[in-house]
Chain A
Amino acid sequence: MNFPKHLKTACFGMTVLFLTACQTTSSKEVYVKAFHHNASDGTNNVENEAQAKADIQNYRFADLSPGERPEITSDEAGLWMMMDRAEKELATSGNRILDPELNAYVKGIVCKLAQDYCGDFRVYVVRVPAFNATMAPNGTMTIYSGFLLRAKNEAQLAAVIGHEITHYLRRHSAQRVKDIVEKSGALAFVQLASIAAGVGAVGDLAALATLGSVQSFSRDHEREADGYGLALMARAGYDPHQAPKIWERVIRERNAADEKPPTGSFLATHPPSEERNTMLGELATTVENAAELRVGELRYQNAIAPIRKSLLQDEIAGGNFDTTSELLNILLEDGHNLSELYYFRGELYRHRNQDDDNASAISAYNKSISEGAPPVELYKSLGLTLLRDGKKDEAKQAFSTYLKLDENAPDRDFIRSMIEGNT
């Protein structure tokens, strides 16, 4: 795909205008620094802005305008067509969270960040217990429930959404395809399909040599998306200091894991979290009056409250004790609905069921009760744990409390039968 030079220049001018439209942020500086951030030593190596502009001009395609679609005969249009098909499947997939209030809330934040581009994005919240969000070249954005669970506030959500919006605005997928075609035409279609599916074709041994540079190239996109996304969030009035904080949380969880993140996951294909964290922290300091900008913690927690229990249940079902334990530590430090969190800590121990886990589970359940608003299911779990300890009378009491609090529980017949000693 070739763009006439005058078009490139015009579009670059538009980009600068777009970025400098923000009154509270030195956005241009932020973007340039982000682009030139040196991954190896953590420094910004921009000698002068003119050089940076020239680099940018040579490096990327022009931004899309609001509502713009690629020329129908272009490779990029083919990429869009593939994604349109994939989006149809996503629209009817079983893992979508359809809660209208939550969807409206997330879409509202997307629009705050995207402004004139709001209509270019379709947002799909999907129930997948992993830290991830994706952006397809045609404007299909997916927000994983695992990410919603891990963010602390609206500004952290905005940081990741801003990052994803940037992938669209800067046409990163089209740039990757162009790069792949230039490096190896024979592999282009394989890679194209992989990109359209939202993942790198890391399993294709024949493509590994090409992929080395492609993945590296895409990390430049990631870096650019971080810087540009940070400018978008600041323009929308969110405190950019929250951007590195989401990564601090992810780093803690990752460090608790006994294995590296699986290939193809967000963490495996994105720049190392520590590097990203440092860069975002540096960039945030360049935003004027950042401390006065919005964090939106209570509003965010209220928005996810109706689904948080089901998301925590998904984490327990995932069966990874160490990372889930650290996630619960982080959420407990945040301090929202402690009863619910202590209940799930108890569930984590009860499901692992090793050594002193029974005692740890009961201790966590009791903490949940003492916090004042335990989930009803706690009493069933407490009864089961007490049964394991041979404390039949106490178990019956817990089961009775469960039935008293939820007369319509789907397992009421079974619990009643347990109380009567028939099962």
Chain B
Amino acid sequence: MKTVLRIAAASLILTMSACQTFTLAPAGKPVVVAKKLEITPTIDWSKVKYRGMDVWTVDGPPLDMVKFYTDLEDGDSLEMIIDAPTNKDDAPAFRKSMTNLEIAELIKNSYINAGRQQFAISSMKPAMFANKKGIRVDFSYKTKKGLDKRGFAVGAIFDDKLNLAIYTGTEEYYFPKYKYEVEKMLMALEHIENKS
């Protein structure tokens, strides 16, 4: 099984690095994500489109990564990437009737379903996301190989659709290195329809 997982992980890296092209999102220049969210990065990021998601990183997705989930509809699941493919058949699904508290449960169960270990929520607070009332969830987990990761998710439901940004990084060095920059960037994120 480990051999299969290694092949899957290698394929993933190849897919992300070879078949998809990373492009630069330079500091200070507004970027539109999924024709919906406008972000102005405070540092230089590399971004790539992967399985319909916008993925941003500075030092590489296994080390630090921001994933943008936009317009998830009723029944959609959160695509998990990196060291284990999501088990789609049993993956927890978004329901448009979910409260923000249930969105936090969706995030937690999606990570557990994707094989993350010892997932723990350290904090859950109300937060604004693109000028909408939403939620912020801070969490930690271990990868299958035992690497400690930390992350936080900020999101809200717009028009019955879930919009979410999740930042994760290695607990040592990378997560704290960019945490403040990601927070600044996401706090300033704007919904394009709301822009006048």
Inter-subunit contact B99/A411 (CB<8 Å): no
B195 at the A/B interface (Cβ < 8 Å)? no
B14 at the A/B interface (Cβ < 8 Å)? no
Inter-subunit contact A414/B101 (CB<8 Å): yes
When distances are taken between beta carbons in the complex, the residues of chain B under 8 Å from A203 are 4
Which one, B3, B92, B99, contacts A193 given CB within 8 A? B3
Which one, B117, B126, B141, B143, contacts A423 given CB within 8 A? B126
Known: A319-B90, A414-B125, A414-B126. A94 touches B99 (CB 8 A): no
Which one, A89, A198, A384, contacts B1 given CB within 8 A? A198
Inter-subunit contact A380/B109 (CB<8 Å): no
Inter-subunit contact B102/A384 (CB<8 Å): yes
B40 at the A/B interface (Cβ < 8 Å)? no
**CB within 8 Å of B: which A75-102 residues:** 86, 89, 92-96
Inter-subunit contact A388/B147 (CB<8 Å): no
A278 at the A/B interface (Cβ < 8 Å)? no
Inter-chain contact count A-B, CB under 8 Å? 94
Which one, B1, B3, B125, B144, contacts A94 given CB within 8 A? B144
A417 at the A/B interface (Cβ < 8 Å)? yes
Chain B interface size, under 10 / 10 to 19 / 20 to 34 / 35 or more: 35 or more
B124 at the A/B interface (Cβ < 8 Å)? yes
B95 at the A/B interface (Cβ < 8 Å)? yes
Q: Dominant SS at the B interface?
A: mixed
B42 at the A/B interface (Cβ < 8 Å)? no
A314 at the A/B interface (Cβ < 8 Å)? yes
Query: How many A residues, CB 8 Å from partner?
Result: 37
Which one, A194, A314, A388, contacts B97 given CB within 8 A? A388
Output the nearest chain A residue to B113 by Cβ-Cβ distance.
A317
Inter-subunit contact B146/A94 (CB<8 Å): yes
B122 at the A/B interface (Cβ < 8 Å)? yes
Inter-subunit contact A92/B146 (CB<8 Å): yes
Q: Give bound CA distance, A199 to B2, whole Å.
A: 9
Output the nearest chain B residue to A319 by Cβ-Cβ distance.
B90
Output the nearest chain B residue to A411 by Cβ-Cβ distance.
B124
Which one, A96, A316, A318, A387, contacts B99 given CB within 8 A? A387
Inter-subunit contact A127/B90 (CB<8 Å): no
When distances are taken between beta carbons in the complex, the residues of chain A under 8 Å from B4 are 203
Q: Which residues of A contact B (CB under 8 A)?
A: 86, 89, 92-96, 127, 193-194, 197-199, 203, 264, 313-314, 316-320, 351, 353, 380, 384, 387-388, 410-411, 413-415, 417-418, 422-423
Chain A to chain B contacts (Cβ below 8 Å), 18 pairs = A93-B117, A93-B144, A94-B118, A94-B142, A94-B145, A127-B118, A197-B1, A197-B3, A318-B90, A320-B90, A351-B92, A410-B121, A411-B104, A413-B123, A413-B125, A414-B100, A423-B100, A423-B135
